[in-house]
Amino acid sequence: MSTARLTVGQAVARFLPQQFTERDGREHRLIEGCFGIFGHGNIAGLGQALLEAELENPGALVYRQARNEQGMVHAAAAFARMRDRLSTLACTSSIGPGATNMVTGAALATINRLPVLLLPGDIFATRVADPVLQQLEHTGQRDVSVNDAFRPVSRFFDRVARPEQLPDALLGAMRVLSDQAETGAVTVCLPQDVQAEAFDWPDELFQRRVWHVDRPVPDRSALQRTAATIRSARRPLIVAGGGVIYSEATEALRALAEATGIPVAETQAGKGSLRFDHAQAVGALGATGTTAANALARSADVVIGVGTRWSDFTTSSRTAFAHPDVRFVSCNITRFDAVKQAGEPLVGDARVVLEQLGEALAGWSVEPSYREESRRLAQEWDATVERAYKLGHGPLPAQSEVIGVVNELSGPRDVVVCAAGAMPGDLHKLWRTRDAKGYHVEYGYSCMGYEIAGGLGAKLACPDREIYVLVGDGSYLMMAQELVTAVQENIKLTVVLVNNHGFASIGALSEAVGTPRFGTWYRERNPSTGRLDGDVLPLDFVANAQSLGVTAWRAGSIDALAGALVAAKSVPGPVLVEVETDPLVPAPDSGSWWDVPVAEVSHLDATLEARKSYEVEKGHQRHYL
């Protein structure tokens, strides 16, 4: 058996470019590149290996420099999302703060079921130099390092303490990354001494390997039960989740909806499963939903979830589905999600499930009056959206007007990226989706700081699409560093920074829970009160972006914003446009609820009133048993 003598780092760098996924006869590179920030924990191991690979085999494993370890994981997750989880990026960091910076990104990836490969450095396996710089010393568990923080937020975790362990760790990592039912963050910790250690590797380890992504077929009996349940319904409703898009099932969903007349509501991850103007599309569901989808949800007798994990926002904290005898059917590639809501589980690939359900339901349709009702409700909501787009609020515009301008000036295949604050909820309600990949809002973890890094990853995955990043000033201040990466790589992003001088989303929520706007404004400390209720902070976001090498403008009105977005189309690199908005103008209300507990006792009248409202809404909450 022939062998190659390489360090562990060099073996990793040679192994990764040889991994491919295959689905429906199309192959994809599983690991398309590597983000990295180097320190003593990885520079002499993986860093040396990536340099050597770049010189000897350019393009095989492209290295990209990042500015923040959390940001590079967000970019990798966004890349994987745009590639339907068939390709991703690796991320390497040093041991210590570099590694723990990636924990937040790992949690985001796992919660959203997105594959990312994390390769943090680790402490010396030999322990000869203990305690090394940045080593966490646990008095009772000598093998613990800060990397153990990855365990609860990773779908796969391993630590390579000896070179002989590397093949098993790498193959296990690839198995999980390529498994649509099991995927998420995959962490392989590499002690810094082991990374630089040489070993004679079998050549077979570096041969081309294809990981086949199958489309699991649902059990025939389960399919028949599901079809019978749907046929018995008078007011069924489909809830399309992210699984519809990842499995490329949008055409199958469209065909089923048109044939049966069942209206389709969408989760955050599933938005775009149907075009916004499709006859069966009723828009966003739940706490950030439309009046159309939520009205139909309240009266639905059978709810058909496809590729959704039934988060509290989707179910309005289990108040959205109010029919006394409502039944659930959950179609999902993982049984864990399929059995939620005490529903009938139908485990399988979303596209296969929808196609087979279409065959099983052939000749059956909802009543014409129900088709007409759902269409009327959707049209009424679309008129509400149009009014929100053209609100004409002044002197500062409303956030809904900003969304309207971006939506109208963007192309059908362009992508809007967002993650946290008030914007995701408003986008879920108001964005008119025209393409299955045109809506990219991370809301499983709702992670502030994802937006710009996520936009970077989305553009790397789909260079032929224009990327519009919508970000609030609060989230921008948490993580804007990857703008520098976009400048370095000459990557075009159009960032629309909505400046509302604070945390608008939590500001609105604070009103509902009886803590009016506390800690949510960006204000100077007032010497007369001792509180943060002084003047607005003198922040200059345009100057900040320009200092990072970004073309940046300030738009003083909606018309100026429109002009700036048109001008931005001809700028080759990243562009930022700041627009100031009025945070006290809410988006249209959908009449839904989200469970955020209110203090049961208080001396504040606002809190006492909020508690009364909370108890009323709490009474509508149900266990689906």
Q: With 80 as the cut, is the pLDDT of residue 1 above it?
A: no
CATH architecture of the domain formed by 390-501+537-580:
3-Layer(aba) Sandwich (3.40)
Strand partners, 495: 469, 576
Contact partners, residue 619, CB within 8 Å, separation at least 6: none
Q: How confident is the model at residue 542 (pLDDT cuts 50, 70, 90)?
A: very high
pLDDT higher at 258 or 622? 258
* CB 213 within 8 Å of CB 180: yes
Q: With 80 as the cut, is the pLDDT of residue 395 above it?
A: yes
Average pLDDT over residues 300-307: 98
CA 94 to chain centre: 25
Strand partners, 236: 302
Query: 489-527 burial string, b = 16+ CB within 10 Å, else e?
Result: eebbbbbbbbbbbbbbbbbbebbbbbbebeebbbeeeee
Residue 425 is encoded by which pair of tokens?
Answer: 């909820």
In this predicted structure, what is the pLDDT of residue 517?
A: 81
pTM for the structure as a whole: 0.96
> Model confidence over 186-209: pLDDT tens digits?
999 999 999 999 999 999 999 999
The domains spanning 3-212 and 390-501+537-580 adopt the same CATH topology: yes
Work out the widest C-alpha separation in the chain, in whole angstroms. 80
Task: Report whether the peptide linkage leading into residue 131 is cis, meaning its omega lies within 30 degrees of zero.
Answer: yes
Average pLDDT over residues 555-559: 95
* CB 263 within 8 Å of CB 379: no
What is the average pLDDT score of the chain? 95
> Model confidence over 212-224: pLDDT tens digits?
999 999 999 999 9
Q: What is the dihedral of CA 343, 348, 349, 353, to 10 degrees?
A: -70
Closest CA to 353 of 464, 243, 483, 266: 243
**Among the four given CATH numbers 3.40.50.1000, 3.40.50.1220, 3.40.50.1240, 3.30.70.270, the one describing domain 220-380:** 3.40.50.1220
CA end-to-end span of the chain: 59
Q: With 80 as the cut, is the pLDDT of residue 282 above it?
A: yes
In the chain, where the domains are located: 3-212, 220-380, 390-501+537-580
In this predicted structure, what is the pLDDT of residue 515?
A: 84
* CB 73 within 8 Å of CB 217: no
In this predicted structure, what is the pLDDT of residue 442?
A: 96
In this predicted structure, what is the pLDDT of residue 512?
A: 82
In this predicted structure, what is the pLDDT of residue 505?
A: 72
> Model confidence over 420-465: pLDDT tens digits?
888 999 999 999 999 999 999 999 999 999 999 999 999 999 999 9
> Model confidence over 335-381: pLDDT tens digits?
999 999 888 999 999 999 999 999 999 999 999 999 999 999 999 99
In this predicted structure, what is the pLDDT of residue 248?
A: 98
* CB 338 within 8 Å of CB 386: no
| Record: fold of 3-212 | Rossmann fold (3.40.50)
